[in-house]
Structure 1
């Protein structure tokens, strides 16, 4: 993994050289008659055995997104370039990658946000093993998803008989906007920079799922002997999160993962473990039970 990162991430001298070339050759990026221009792209090519960045010059038309340019490269210069995508509407989360080092959706990143003279660098998600080119193995996320117990419906109520306050509906609905793009998982430094943490850390996406279930007024997990707060801390690594909010910053759906899910969950866990009144109350309830 470290070799792959070293190969695809140019050093400062190389970046400065490309920047100087961009500044000196800016005249090449003039508007065409239809508003198009030619842009320079650097795309990581390789597989599990390693790879490197490859340079391309490609046509860009007005209103296009980065995924359009990747498709044009496939059609004109690199027919074997591998990229994962599906809806091209920012709803499936398939086309996750890193653009100029920032985790983004290829289909939601417009070319207009870049200076026409700069080189746009596209690399695969850094936190996950590369399969080929821009496609990574995100199986880690599905493994973590299966480890989280599902919603436990209340006894005595059939589907369709559930009733919730609108405030509770709105709070859970924010978290259900997640499109499983795994950008938050990729940018979380606990996963990104420490491979050894993956076995003990679910990541922000799935800690958010636990928090959603824990605050759900109809979830009866506690009555079935499942303590979601305890499992979040002891089994899914809630304590590893140090709330840097990097996961929130890259979320394409604007979910406030840190403020509305992770911090409240941490507060509930801390109150339960370290607040003497909360601790005493839990002991009294347990004795009465």
Structure 2
């Protein structure tokens, strides 16, 4: 069954723009990206939109649909009433390039600031051994498709441009958490203190665990509960728990004495 839908799509560039009104055919089983493609093929051939796989795995077609950060390829038209106006706008947290395409280079800059996995010394890759529960624990975070919807919805980034220099955002704090809990990561031996970096370099303290990042994740990763909150707890233990502080001092003294 087909029907005519009313779409409002943001058109413009870095200099400004406005919502354009469109009447477009919607067919049964379609997603928002199908409709955007139909607009390109009919009334708006110059409409700029970023997409690739159309299967919810590349993260390219991120946008805001009726104000909510979503993947256009995973948002079915059946969730909207046929009489409802569907408004599609670019991700608000990032600068507009043109129409629905935004400049997400901020995220790649933050990715480069996270120290890479440090292989355990004395072991070749084929010799790594982990318990299955540790594999399962970090594998959840590896499901991330880097759609940056969590970055877009995080109010620390979205509403405060001035925070971007000091705050990595939930996607990359999740990466720090993943590496910090990885049993084979030898960052400490390589001189990298991931907990200290999370606090001082990646702005963990800016996060106030509202769970908005978890709510928009298309992979259903429990970003807040399984990554950010445990990382905050470990960082707080390191910084403020007197027993943890004393234990670290004793270990350092013992290591130095043994040398």
**What is the CA distance between 1:104 and its match in structure 2?**
0.1
Alignment partner of 1:200 is 2:166: yes
Task: Give the equivalent residue in structure 2 for 1:243.
Answer: 209
Alpha-carbon displacement from aligned partner over 1:109-132 (angstroms, at most 9, x marks no partner):
000000111100000000000000
Task: Give the equivalent residue in structure 2 for 1:161.
Answer: 127
Q: How does 1:89-128 map to 2 (within 5 A)?
A: 89-128=55-94
Alpha-carbon displacement from aligned partner over 1:40-68 (angstroms, at most 9, x marks no partner):
00000000110000000000000000000
**What is the CA distance between 1:287 and its match in structure 2?**
1.3
The whole-number CA distance in structure 1 between the counterparts of 2:244 and 2:123 is 30
The whole-number CA distance in structure 2 between the counterparts of 1:225 and 1:286 is 14
Alignment partner of 1:149 is 2:148: no
TM-score by length of 2: 0.98
**What is the CA distance between 1:184 and its match in structure 2?**
0.1
**SS where residue 160 of structure 1 aligns?**
helix
The whole-number CA distance in structure 2 between the counterparts of 1:54 and 1:207 is 37
The whole-number CA distance in structure 2 between the counterparts of 1:154 and 1:105 is 37
Task: Give the equivalent residue in structure 1 for 2:46.
Answer: 80
Task: Give the equivalent residue in structure 2 for 1:27.
Answer: none
Task: Give the equivalent residue in structure 2 for 1:181.
Answer: 147
**SS where residue 127 of structure 2 aligns?**
coil
Which residue of 217, 221, 246 corresponds with 2:183?
A: 217
Which residue of 48, 52, 64 corresponds with 2:30?
A: 64
The whole-number CA distance in structure 2 between the counterparts of 1:80 and 1:160 is 50
**SS where residue 144 of structure 2 aligns?**
coil
Alpha-carbon displacement from aligned partner over 1:152-204 (angstroms, at most 9, x marks no partner):
00111011110000000000100000000000000000000000000000000
The whole-number CA distance in structure 2 between the counterparts of 1:36 and 1:224 is 60
**SS where residue 224 of structure 1 aligns?**
coil
Task: Give the equivalent residue in structure 2 for 1:133.
Answer: 99
Q: How many residues are matched?
A: 255
Alpha-carbon displacement from aligned partner over 1:232-263 (angstroms, at most 9, x marks no partner):
00000000000000000000000000000000
Contiguous gaps of at least 5 residues in structure 2: none
**What is the CA distance between 1:288 and its match in structure 2?**
1.4
Task: Give the equivalent residue in structure 2 for 1:6.
Answer: none
Task: Give the equivalent residue in structure 2 for 1:278.
Answer: 244
**What is the CA distance between 1:273 and its match in structure 2?**
1.0
The whole-number CA distance in structure 2 between the counterparts of 1:272 and 1:151 is 21
Task: Give the equivalent residue in structure 2 for 1:12.
Answer: none
The CA RMSD over aligned residues, in Å, is 0.4
**SS where residue 286 of structure 1 aligns?**
helix
Contiguous gaps of at least 5 residues in structure 1: 1-34
Task: Give the equivalent residue in structure 2 for 1:36.
Answer: 2
**SS where residue 125 of structure 2 aligns?**
coil
**SS where residue 87 of structure 1 aligns?**
coil
The whole-number CA distance in structure 1 between the counterparts of 2:162 and 2:66 is 26
The whole-number CA distance in structure 2 between the counterparts of 1:170 and 1:215 is 12
The whole-number CA distance in structure 2 between the counterparts of 1:276 and 1:155 is 31
**SS where residue 51 of structure 1 aligns?**
strand
**Hey, which bits of structure 1, 4+ residues long, moved more than 3 A?**
none
Alignment partner of 1:268 is 2:234: yes
**SS where residue 266 of structure 1 aligns?**
helix
TM-score by length of 1: 0.88
Task: Give the equivalent residue in structure 2 for 1:11.
Answer: none
